[in-house]
Chain A
Amino acid sequence: MTIGQILFNLFALFTLVMAAGVVLNKNAVNAALCLLLCLVGVAGLFVGLNAYLLAFLLLLVYAGAIVALFLFIVMLLDTRGDARPTLNRLPLVARILATGLILGGVASFLQRGRLVSPDIAGTVGVGAALKPYAYQLFTTYLLPVQILGFLLLIAMLGVIVLSKKFVGMEDIK
């Protein structure tokens, strides 16, 4: 086993354990911190795939901005904790159906989920350098970049409008 594979196993296990931590944690703060560590694991996997810029961006945008935002909102709102996730609230038919679907999916994945892996030694890791990103973003994907800029503007305006207090509006309770 090479060092790359050892690192892959380590990061993959870490990511999945932390992802399970997000789902299973009662406390929203703990779930947010588990999400943070899960993202760190995914960034490690990105580094294993030679996508250094994307790993950095993932940490910067997700771990730096989004998780911090989540933590702020958790702080702002009332967090009384939550019940553990359980299937007991569902009707019996739904429970049986859900369990059967999950087991069937896992079984078929383990049995038939095999992709032919291209030889990575002969493939150039084009995602390692910065230049290809800039080239693609400014040539092929120029229009999507503009649209995304507009989307961010609209999102910003939407957040401002949503967080305003509307006085005199009827309460829909």
Chain B
Amino acid sequence: MMPASLNAYIFISVALFAIGLLGVLLRRNTLIVFMCLEMMLVASTLALVAFSRFNGTMDGNVFVFFILTVAAAEVAVGLAIIVALFRRRQTIQLDQLNTLKN
């Protein structure tokens, strides 16, 4: 089975990262911002796996393990922070969380 070129994989990775970044910048719901952050992490893993496959090395593949682990820890802590925030402020909309602004 002959897969696509390296360029195509990197293009998909960059596009996924850009979509995630747009979501982080434009959305106001903290949960969706967090989902978009996860999407950016997955985009970076896609680039790592593609480079690893096309160069015949193992390091990129192993790094994906680490990224997965860090992402899992990050999600656990981040969601706990969001829940604590909601308990205290009764909202998770980013434009209403402006205590530090004034």
Contact = CB atoms under 8 A, between A and B. Distances in A.
Interface in A59-107: 61-62, 65-66, 69-70, 73-74, 76-79, 82-83, 85-87, 105
A35 to B, nearest CB: 5
B14 A70 contact: no
B50 A19 contact: no
A31 B29 CA distance: 11
A139 B99 CA distance: 48
B83 A76 contact: yes
Given A2-B2, A19-B16, A148 B66 contact: yes
Contacts of A127: 49, 52-53, 58, 61
Contact of B9 (A16, A49, A62, A132): A49
Interface in A109-138: 109, 113-115, 117-118, 120-121, 123-127, 132-133, 136-137
B79 A172 contact: no
Contacts, number: 227
A136 to B, nearest CB: 5
Contact of A49 (B3, B23, B26): B3
A147 B18 CA distance: 30
Nearest to B17: A19
Q: Top 8 A-B pairs ranked by shortest CB distance?
A: A85-B26, A155-B73, A23-B23, A162-B80, A117-B6, A123-B56, A82-B29, A8-B4
Given A46-B49, A49-B49, 19 more contacts: A2-B2, A19-B15, A19-B16, A19-B20, A23-B26, A23-B27, A38-B42, A46-B46, A54-B49, A69-B75, A69-B76, A85-B23, A85-B27, A86-B26, A127-B52, A156-B76, A158-B77, A162-B84, A163-B83
Contact of A23 (B19, B53, B89): B19
Interface in A140-173: 140-141, 144, 148, 151-152, 154-156, 158-159, 162-163, 171-173
Contact of B15 (A5, A16, A159): A16
Q: Interface SS of chain A: helix, strand, loop or mixed?
A: helix
Q: Interface SS of chain B: helix, strand, loop or mixed?
A: helix
A45 B47 CA distance: 11
Interface of A: 2-5, 8-9, 12, 15-16, 19-20, 22-23, 25, 28, 31-32, 35, 38-39, 42, 45-46, 48-51, 54, 57-58, 61-62, 65-66, 69-70, 73-74, 76-79, 82-83, 85-87, 105, 109, 113-115, 117-118, 120-121, 123-127, 132-133, 136-137, 140-141, 144, 148, 151-152, 154-156, 158-159, 162-163, 171-173
